A and B are shown apart, each in its own frame.
Chain A
Amino acid sequence: MSSPTSTKLTPPNYLDPRVRRKYIWIYLFQVWISLIPASFLVLWFFYSWFIRILPSFYNFNDVSWTLSNLVKKFWDYPNWAAGLILPILIAIIYITSVIWSAIITKLIIATLNRIHAPSEGVFFRNLADKDYLFWNLRNLSRIFLFWLISSSPFIFLKKTFLYTFFGVPIGKKSVINQTWISPEFVEIGENVIIGQSAALYSYLIQGDKLLVAKIQIADGVKIGPQTVLLPGTKVDENVIVDGGSFAHPFTVMDSNSIYGGIPCEKLENSEKIWLEFFK
């Protein structure tokens, strides 16, 4: 499949293979519970429309496959409203499964946070390290919901059901449709525009250590396509980041200026250009 990376909308979500092997039952249990209402809807639909109504369309003993007969039967179709309602039912089944699985994942994450509260810092990649273990478990419980939302072309569900419902602040009028953003330790202000397949990671793995730090993006920031921001970056108001640039962890960007390049630095004459054109 040649789907471009800007349409693969699942946020970055690392999972330790040891955790995956040990705690896969959480994932399976979650999938089972979150598909129950949808499956009841499917059953109801199957029995009410397909079993009772469909066989009564034809007298099956004298089905003749001539064109004129088929056209005639199309118009004689007694309850062709069933065909009109079918797509709406499919949409209802999809949206109920999204909402219900979002509620289930939120419950699981709330219980995990009760046991051990999430925190920033540097952790060892051992299952004995409680922070690392629970960070992985939270990622594990999000996977199904991410897959469910990102597998449809309706990407407008993403902002509400992946971020604002889970308490990640993303401001009004900010556009994050075609980007990867970590679902934890991220703050995004109002009127933020982020380009295609840019990535904001709130974690970094190096050797046997995991770094988790908050990414803060203030109001009116614009970030170009394919930029990579790593944990701990602070972006002040109205900053413009050029496309294809790469910022080291814990970079701080001053307000009302333009940044770019690899590694990300303040560009020459940036304040002058900003005052002239972007004010």
Chain B
Amino acid sequence: MVLREVEPSQNISDFPLISANLPGKHRIHLLLLFELWITIIIMFFLNRGYYSSLFIQKTWTYLLLPLFIYGLFWQFFIISILLSGIVYHIVRLIEPPKEGFFELSSREAQFYFMRFWICYYGLYIARAMPLPWADMYFYRIFGAHIGKNIVLYDSWIDPEYVDIEDNCMISLNTQLISHAIIGKYLYVKRVLVKKSGIAGGGAIVAPGTTIREGAVLGGGSTSHFNQELAPYCIHVGTPAKIALPIKVEKTSKKKKMRKK
């Protein structure tokens, strides 16, 4: 059987969702070690003046020590994220990302996982930063379209093929996945979250789903492949179905009060 021939017409919504990031044949951990190596070298040469100033034993240098350690954290975070972004874009030039079905042993799939692990290193560090909203800005380095005024909380979002528009909320422990393993194939499809869409806590958004304007995916529920969630409706269950429409007041109450 060949899934590639029946791809557009095939209704794959019945298929179970399996998503995992395989290590692949590339030796990625060596690349990550190389990234770490370069970041620490850059940090060493940036702060060389301060290290040596400690040996003069002047009191003002010791007073700056706590601020210096905090600054070291920030240096490490920002340099390693930018470096992984640069490495990601170099690898992206070699093999640009594509949507569709790929065999797990094929070049496209192998490079997909390689690109994923390069992003993972940067995003892991971005997520460990002392600012909880900083991760949104670092997703943009890896080419994800992420709008203004959104919340990501503790959710996992794939770095590639994810579009999130303004005023969205993606809650705790939500998995927003744009890739899945179907048999011996890797399936990659864009996930769209339109304006003011909400994915509830612990929900799974499968590849190819579009959350329309104001649609809500309930907590703990999963959407199946290529599903479209209707605008201004709450969807619940595995797979998700329409449970309740939401009443929308187009003009806010404050404006009405003013008119009166």
Contact = CB atoms under 8 A, between A and B. Distances in A.
Interface of A: 1-7, 50, 54-55, 57-58, 60, 65, 70, 74, 83-84, 86-88, 90-91, 153-154, 156, 175, 177-178, 193-197, 222-226, 240-245, 258, 260-262, 267, 269, 273, 276-278
29 contacts: A1-B132, A3-B128, A4-B173, A54-B51, A58-B52, A65-B49, A87-B36, A87-B40, A87-B41, A91-B33, A91-B36, A91-B37, A153-B124, A154-B33, A193-B20, A194-B20, A196-B19, A196-B177, A223-B18, A225-B18, A225-B19, A225-B177, A226-B202, A243-B206, A260-B238, A261-B238, A273-B15, A276-B1, A278-B183
A258 B14 CA distance: 11
A91 B152 CA distance: 32
B208 to A, nearest CB: 14
A243 to B, nearest CB: 4
A195 to B, nearest CB: 5
A55 B56 CA distance: 9
Contacts of B49: 65, 70
Contacts of B124: 3, 7, 153
B160 to A, nearest CB: 15
A50 B22 CA distance: 41
B70 interface: no
Interface string B141-178: 00000000000111111000000000000000101010
B36 A178 contact: no
Contacts, number: 158
B72 interface: no
A258 B15 CA distance: 9
Interface in B1-26: 1, 3, 14-23
A153 B56 contact: no
A87 B130 contact: no
A6 B238 contact: no
B182 A243 contact: no
B55 interface: yes
Given A84-B41, A153-B125, A2 B16 contact: no
B135 interface: yes
B19 A243 contact: yes
Indicate the member of A54, A70, A74, A267 with the most B CB atoms within 10 Å: A54
A59 to B, nearest CB: 11
Nearest to A194: B20
A2 B222 contact: no
B121 interface: yes
B45 interface: yes
Nearest to A82: B44
B45 A154 contact: no
Given A87-B41, A90-B40, A244-B221, 11 more contacts: A1-B127, A1-B130, A2-B132, A4-B154, A58-B52, A83-B45, A91-B33, A223-B18, A225-B204, A226-B204, A243-B17
Nearest to A91: B33
A46 to B, nearest CB: 11
B132 A258 contact: no
Interface string B106-120: 000000000000001
Nearest to B55: A55
Contact of A2 (B38, B152, B177): B152
